[in-house]
Structure 1
Amino acid sequence: MADAFDLIVIGAGPGGYVAAIRAAQLGKKVAVIERRPNKALGGTCLNIGCIPSKALLDSSELFDVTNHKLQKHGVVVDKVSLDLATMMKRKDGVVKSLTDGIAFLFKKNKITPIYGTGKLLRDKSVEVTDADGNKTTYKAENVLLATGSESTELPFLKFDGKQVVSSTEALSFEQVPKHLIVVGGGYIGLELGSVWKRLGAKVTVVEFLPRILPVTDGEIAASVQKILTKQGMEFHLDTKVTGAKVQDGSVTVTAEKAGQPVTFEGDKVLVAVGRRPYTANLGLDEAGVTYDKKTGRIAVDKQFRTNVPGVAALGDLIDGPTLAHKAMEEGVAYAEIISGHKAHFSYEFIPSAIYIWPEVASVGLTEEQVKATGREYRIGKVPFGPSGRARAMDEPDGYVKILTDKATDRVLGVHILGPRASDLIGEAVTVMEYRGSAEDIARCIHGHPTLTETVGEAARAAWLGAAIHA
């Protein structure tokens, strides 16, 4: 038996490393187990998810702006070429700087990193198998499961890592695909599809449902499809993929639409149909942890405790959206709970963002969800077109949509399609967390000229029934 700890965290992703740091700050002796062979901390988000995808989105957006928008600003560039290797090197550099930053924080907070695959045993013990196959058992007062999630593989469209890929491989193509077929119209498929579309690929999105972005406000989703179609992305909705054949470096995807067979031919297929909890070899059955065999989600109470005393879980392993910031705040709350502090965590106002361009960001209820409650509501919707800042940026597309309770004016949901929507949504999260109203937003003075003015205008429209500049 190796050293004992107050807390052992299995998984160094956003939920796990944040929980570890906060627990260490509160005086706990903490160890974190990470299975990545390169010993990189940060989990899927930092290594093969949020961060590298955003690095490529920003780089590809600059490439697209240089090709199509600079001349309108009076900036003339004679020849633009793509150095994909340098773009990938920059992406990897961004990732390394952040993973190294977490390693520094571990050292600063005296957290012990343990590299290998962790398996939960009974009696709050964890067995770690290192790269050489050696096994060591550690004991802790508390064990936190934070192993995150993995891309969902379709049984009839299995990943081969070359032609049929997950989001991981789609972040590291050595060449721009001639034709990228994206199976799934969710945010991951649209973000990575946008990267490769900007860099020159033909992109076709095949979606089983009659709409893209199924958990997004319906009106916003429809507007996104129109904008992305204008950008050159092709959509096939109500289309069920049934299989694929790889031959001579190309892929033929078979599908059905309205009962008729259809095929799509490309050189890469990105399967982006969601993510599922990563619990392989975690030892849940042996330790007696209750979880849903179908979804893989671990059952926990409001304090993240499983049915096994001393064992907790958070992040993508439990119910709720698979978002890094959700896992991070759960990590903070969990660490404070086991340290004897009161912790507040609200699942009602978790923002989401989709980093296509223009961006999409939301918090609260969609219009469909508000309708389902049967309550009377108001909508304040104002486009970015009248915004002086948006016009100066040459980014007039999109709008802010605010939903309020008709009787109380309380904000029920905010949905933004437009430039820097991911930054703008923060104001709405704050107001909604404090149960604020559209009047509260409207009466706050928004700087001029800024994009935030459009949020204020939409709030005024919801509150008074009319905006000033729309």
Structure 2
Amino acid sequence: EIRSKPDAAEVELADGRTIRSDVVLYAAGRTGNVGSLGLDVVGIDADSRGRIKVDPQSFQTSVPNIYAAGDIIGFPSLASTSMEQGRVAACHAFGVPLPPPPETFPYGIYAVPEISTVGQSEEQVRESGAAYEVGVARFRETSRGHIMGVNTGFLKLLFSIETRRLLGAHIIGEGATELIHIGQAVINLGGTVDFFVNNTFNYPTLAEAYKIAGLDAWNRMGRGQAADHAGESVSLPVPPIPAAIA
């Protein structure tokens, strides 16, 4: 429920909490601009919101020689995914073979601060029943954060305890939409928490937050075993302790 007050707007959430703000933006969604396309002439139907149904692998419509991509087909309605959909559609139309698309892609919200996410959310992992561990790094913990005067923002990584693989990466703060691509690559390549522990990140950078978050999770997970791509268990090395610390 949204209530207009003399000095603010109040939004009452489903869980009973109330948020006060100067302005409330209510997004009711979008509809496809298909009214003048003559879809009925070629035998293509759109749903009640003007979206066209396509094959998710080829982006063919119900008419094989007509393709659709981008916002007109609905979720996720991102510029980045729309460009990729167009590329896949063109390759399919010209018979160019393509591998299966990656299961995950990043979302970017260009607010202040930026918000970006890829993979599973903590709620999704919890609902799946899988055992998981979380690693968190705050930008103020990085030297680059000190240099830039960044006192807010954080990176959260979710790891499977069974396989040690990265399940999700979530960032709020400076450069979030740029930094998320590291998490995207590790997820799509089947990387584990040990990637972040055993690899070197440029110093000083905000990307070093991945190392900090990886160590945060690794310290709780400890040495373990992860399943490789063939489903067999492989031993994971323990990172060497720097001489300065030893």
The 5 A counterparts of 1:23-422 are 209-210=13-14, 233-234=21-22, 272-293=27-48, 295-301=49-55, 302-344=57-99, 346=101, 348-422=103-177
CA distance in 2, matches of 1:376, 1:278: 45
- Give per-residue Cα distances to partners, 1:246-302, cap 9 Å, x unaligned: xxxxxxxxxxxxxxxxxxxxxxxx653333333221222232113322x33211112
* Aligned partner letter, 2:125: V
CA distance in 2, matches of 1:439, 1:299: 41
Inter-CA distance 204–316: structure 2 relative to 1 (3 Å threshold): farther
* Aligned partner letter, 1:419: E
Match of 1:431 in 2: 186
Inter-CA distance 434–234: structure 2 relative to 1 (3 Å threshold): same
Give the superposition deviation at 1:345.
Answer: 5.4
Match of 2:204 in 1: 449
- Give per-residue Cα distances to partners, 1:392-443, cap 9 Å, x unaligned: 1111202110011110011111000111111101111111111211221332
Q: TM-score, normalised by structure 1?
A: 0.42
Q: Percent identity?
A: 34
* Aligned partner letter, 2:28: V
Match of 2:218 in 1: 463
CA contact (8 A) 2:60 2:89 kept: no
CA distance in 2, matches of 1:280, 1:209: 36
CA distance in 2, matches of 1:290, 1:209: 36
Inter-CA distance 284–306: structure 2 relative to 1 (3 Å threshold): same
Match of 2:243 in 1: none
Count of aligned pairs: 213
CA contact (8 A) 2:159 2:168 kept: yes
Inter-CA distance 308–405: structure 2 relative to 1 (3 Å threshold): same
Structure (1 or 2) with the larger CA radius of gyration: 1
SS of corresponding position for 1:277: coil
CA distance in 1, matches of 2:165, 2:12: 36
**More helix by percentage:** 1
CA distance in 2, matches of 1:427, 1:356: 20
- Give per-residue Cα distances to partners, 1:294-321, cap 9 Å, x unaligned: x332111121111112011111122421
Unpaired runs of 5+ residues, structure 2, are: 222-246
CA contact (8 A) 1:333 1:344 kept: no
CA distance in 1, matches of 2:120, 2:194: 18
CA distance in 2, matches of 1:274, 1:348: 25
Inter-CA distance 204–313: structure 2 relative to 1 (3 Å threshold): farther
Match of 2:239 in 1: none
SS of corresponding position for 1:321: coil
Inter-CA distance 210–411: structure 2 relative to 1 (3 Å threshold): same
SS of corresponding position for 1:292: coil
CA distance in 2, matches of 1:285, 1:209: 42
CA RMSD of aligned residues (A): 2.7
CA distance in 2, matches of 1:206, 1:303: 45
Give the superposition deviation at 1:342.
Answer: 1.2
CA contact (8 A) 1:387 1:396 kept: no
Q: TM-score, normalised by structure 2?
A: 0.77
Identify the structure with bigger relative contact order (alpha carbons < 8 Å, sequence gap 6+).
1
* Aligned partner letter, 1:278: N
Inter-CA distance 276–377: structure 2 relative to 1 (3 Å threshold): farther
Give the superposition deviation at 1:347.
Answer: 5.5
Give the superposition deviation at 1:447.
Answer: 0.8
SS of corresponding position for 1:447: coil
**More strand by percentage:** 1
SS of corresponding position for 1:314: coil
CA distance in 2, matches of 1:273, 1:207: 16
Match of 1:186 in 2: none
CA distance in 1, matches of 2:8, 2:60: 43
SS of corresponding position for 1:313: coil
